[in-house]
Structure 1
Amino acid sequence: MPEHVLVVGTGRDFPARLRAARPGTETSVIVQLDYIGKVREPGGNARVIGVRGDAPDEEWIALAAAAHARHPFTRIATFGERDQDRYAAIGQALGLACHSVRTVSLAHDKEAMRARLAETGVDTTAYARVADVDALRAFVRAHGTCVVKPVSGAGSAGVARVTAGSDLAGAFERAGGSYLGLANPGVLVEEFIEGTQFSVEAVSERGEHEVVAITRKYSDPATFVELGHVSPAELPEERRKEIHACVGSVLDALGVTFGVTHTEVVLASAGPRVIETHVRMGGDEIPALTRDATGVDLDECALRQTLGERVLPGVRAALAERRAPRSSAIWFAVLGARGVLGEVAGLDEARAVPGVTGVEVTARPGKEAGGLTSSDSRVAYARALGASAGEAVDAARRAVSRLEFQLRVRDAGGPAV
């Protein structure tokens, strides 16, 4: 029977890849109207359905069900954070295999995740949803250094490290905002755990979890926006096993039984503690770093699982294969000065740095740039390979240092110059 996959969200290049992966496969896309212009090759799909972002789940389900009645879907998928809740609601209503509504809710709602992890004994980090600055101040006084973040968010937007002497009103206001159309139901504060941060990429199938890579994160100490990553992280084997066990317990607690996941942890003196987890692939080119370092293509795993294929045996075979040790790193460019971005020079020089595999400018000319408030604040990146983590990071950083950015800035009383 030919496959017909309903992709919730823009799907990036996955609808086309799904059609190419198995002859006869068809795709349909259901997406927020605000993002319908980002659907690639829309005419390659059987249909593209646009829905208001503020429409209730029932409307999304009804539109999907109408298409399903005329041209039945065999599978459903989503490949990003936005509208994963719609994906789960539609999948459940149409009887299609997908992450449960509860699992997606626990991954999106950081307060609910904290409650579930505490209930199961996986992680006991102190936390609270705070309704106002007074409640935030009381929690900080009780716990010392803390992290303030949106209850639901992405891209490190609105996240801040605070103490009793910080601008708590400003931190509360930023955490209460929204980012890229993701709903934000409130502000969460957690005790700050001192330690090195890591991203953990895993593939699950039939309830089994396989950690593919542990990636070292280099984050801004105030905003926690990532400045760089390197995979694999250089860790003692005992610590590596602790992280593997922690992530497996997290995924079990959240009810994850399949798919590619991205979990962030901090390795404290007493062992790993959870920052958050996502039922999707990591951002920041982490799947590319993982592929370079391990030979496992997480994008391909997600695609094959969408089509009902088993991938875990192949993942384990690739991880067991003896490979020459190498590390893959990425480093981001951030502008200290604020202004309107103009030309970018030095790309050829950056790409010529030994070990560099790619340099990309991610911000368009005319963008207001400068400062570091979220992942969207970064303006370019370089990726590099090395025989060690340090060598790869050094090459990526040297490449970024070759870039020169033209900014038009405003003086106190005049136009941009």
Structure 2
Amino acid sequence: MSEHVLIVGTGRDFPARIRAAHPGARTTVFCRLDSVGRVRAPGENARVLGLRDDAPEQEWVDLAAAVHARDPFTRIGTFGERNQNHYARIAEALELTAHSPDTVHLVHDKQAMRARLSEAGVDSTAGVRAADLDELRAFVRRYGLPCVVKPVSNSGSAGITKVTSESELAGAFARADDSYQGLAHTGVLVEEFLDGPKFSIEAVSEAGEHQVVAITAKFSDPASFVELGHVTPARLTDEVRDEVHAYVGAVLDALGVEFGPTHSEICLTEKGPRLIETHVRMGGDEIPALVQDATGVDVDDCAARQTLGESVLPGILAMLAEDRPARCSAIWFAALEVTGVLDHVGRLDEARSLPGVTEVRLLAKPGAEVGGLTSSDSRVAFARALADTPEEAARAARAAVEHLEFTLKVSAHHDQAI
């Protein structure tokens, strides 16, 4: 029987990747109605089905079961955050290989994640769900300031606040008490503040074995926590790198991750690595491209082939063992403080021609309202660059972004160049 893969969510370019990786494979896409327009080349799928945003989970399961009865699925996959709960429940009902509902719940519900890691003796970072402002104040009385207030389930650094004074608690609670990009609203979490440099760890798991592919240094806005840059590989000693590898493996074991790509964000504190959050998906912010530049490993391709049941770990290990020239890859994002309507972006060609720069891309189109830095979606452009050291790569990417000139319409009679 030929492969028939159910992809939950739009899947970005993964339906095409899967069909290309396995000639004769067919794909069916299940997504929310508001995302149907983002399905690429919809006619190349066996079918594309959309459900309302408020459709109950059982409706997703029932619809998948109805299609399965007529045209059986052999595999299931999802490649973003938004629909992972539906994916896990469908897979469980149809007995298809996928992350368990428990694992998906743990990576989405940060309070549950904290509890599981504490029970496993992996990470003792304090964090509790706060139902109201009084519970936030009670946490501060017990653990002190600063603390971090954020949504229990979030993405894109939305709704996160570092609180340094009790007077900031009310505003922080209001920002966190919301949903983001369709992720279920599950409440507000308050955690102790982790002090130290931040990193993301890209790993691929197979049959319960975890292989770190790359460690990426993160540069974030200190107020909003929105990420402004990344560089792969991070400059770390072998001893620290080994400690991070072992720690992330223990985290993934505790959360029940058996296979697939993961993106974990950690802080290197005085007490060692501590988890900020983890995800059972590839990293965002073009991190898979940085990883491929630096290591040769195509994490997206690994995700597609694992969805088809292929083993990818031997190939990853062979690639990482190759004697490759040392290359560092970086990305830097542009964010605007002034609020207005984007009118024009200048000096793009000049930025693209700067030494080491491999890509400059706009994230906001003329006519879009821009300004402020509230989430990853607030950023308006990025540049990527290659160099021999992490510092040189980061400088080259940042220089390209700073070379761009943004013109905003801030009133009916006044334009402002940024």
Question: How does the TM-score come out when normalised to structure 1?
Answer: 0.98
**Separation in 2, partners of 1:38, 1:341:** 23
1:402 equivalent in structure 2: 403
Counterpart of 1:86, as a letter, is: H
Report if the CA contact (8 A) 1:408-1:416 is conserved: yes
Q: CA deviation at 1:365?
A: 1.6
**Separation in 2, partners of 1:149, 1:327:** 32
Q: Which deviates more from structure 2 when the two are superposed, residues 137-146 or residues 212-221?
A: 137-146
- Structure 2, unpaired ranges of 5+: none
Residue aligned with 1:363, SS: coil
Q: Displaced runs of 4+ in structure 1, greater than 4 A?
A: 414-417
1:59 equivalent in structure 2: 59
**Separation in 2, partners of 1:376, 1:345:** 21
Calculate percent identity across the aligned residue pairs.
66
Residue aligned with 2:395, SS: helix
- 1:307 and 2:311 are equivalent in the alignment: no
Residue aligned with 1:167, SS: helix
Q: CA deviation at 1:415?
A: 7.8
1:209 equivalent in structure 2: 210
Residue-by-residue CA offset, 1:364-403 (whole Å, 9 max, x unaligned)? 2222111111000100000000100000000001000110
Report if the CA contact (8 A) 2:137-2:166 is conserved: no
Residue aligned with 1:325, SS: coil
Counterpart of 2:408, as a letter, is: L
**Separation in 1, partners of 2:298, 2:20:** 17
Report if the CA contact (8 A) 1:243-1:272 is conserved: yes
Counterpart of 2:355, as a letter, is: P
Report if the CA contact (8 A) 2:17-2:301 is conserved: no
- 1:263-282 equivalences in 2 (<5 Å): 263-282=264-283
- 1:151-166 equivalences in 2 (<5 Å): 151-166=152-167
Q: CA deviation at 1:179?
A: 1.2
Q: CA deviation at 1:23?
A: 1.1
Q: CA deviation at 1:132?
A: 1.2
Q: CA deviation at 1:134?
A: 2.1
Q: CA deviation at 1:166?
A: 4.5
* CA shift in 2, pair 1:416/1:83, >3 Å: farther
Residue-by-residue CA offset, 1:152-174 (whole Å, 9 max, x unaligned)? 01000000111224521111111
Report if the CA contact (8 A) 1:334-1:379 is conserved: yes
1:183 equivalent in structure 2: 184
1:116 equivalent in structure 2: 116
1:325 equivalent in structure 2: 326
- 1:14-413 equivalences in 2 (<5 Å): 14-142=14-142, 143-410=144-411
Report if the CA contact (8 A) 1:3-1:26 is conserved: yes
Residue-by-residue CA offset, 1:245-303 (whole Å, 9 max, x unaligned)? 11000000000000000000000112100000000000000000000000100000001
**Separation in 1, partners of 2:56, 2:162:** 35
Counterpart of 1:169, as a letter, is: A
Counterpart of 2:5, as a letter, is: V
Residue-by-residue CA offset, 1:82-120 (whole Å, 9 max, x unaligned)? 110000000000010000000000011111101100110
**Separation in 1, partners of 2:156, 2:8:** 20
Q: CA deviation at 1:416?
A: 7.3
Q: CA deviation at 1:128?
A: 1.1
Q: CA deviation at 1:74?
A: 0.2
Q: CA deviation at 1:341?
A: 1.0
**Separation in 1, partners of 2:242, 2:180:** 35
Q: Which deviates more from structure 2 when the two are superposed, residues 136-145 or residues 282-291?
A: 136-145
**Separation in 2, partners of 1:179, 1:270:** 32
**Separation in 2, partners of 1:36, 1:57:** 18
Q: CA deviation at 1:362?
A: 0.5
Report if the CA contact (8 A) 1:140-1:163 is conserved: no
**Separation in 2, partners of 1:206, 1:343:** 50
**Separation in 1, partners of 2:338, 2:141:** 34
Report if the CA contact (8 A) 2:282-2:299 is conserved: yes
Q: CA deviation at 1:141?
A: 3.5
Residue aligned with 2:228, SS: strand
2:11 equivalent in structure 1: 11
**Separation in 1, partners of 2:315, 2:167:** 49
**Separation in 1, partners of 2:91, 2:206:** 18
- Structure 1, unpaired ranges of 5+: none
Aligned residues: 414
Report if the CA contact (8 A) 1:137-1:164 is conserved: no
**Separation in 1, partners of 2:344, 2:21:** 39
**Separation in 1, partners of 2:387, 2:277:** 29
Report if the CA contact (8 A) 2:152-2:189 is conserved: yes
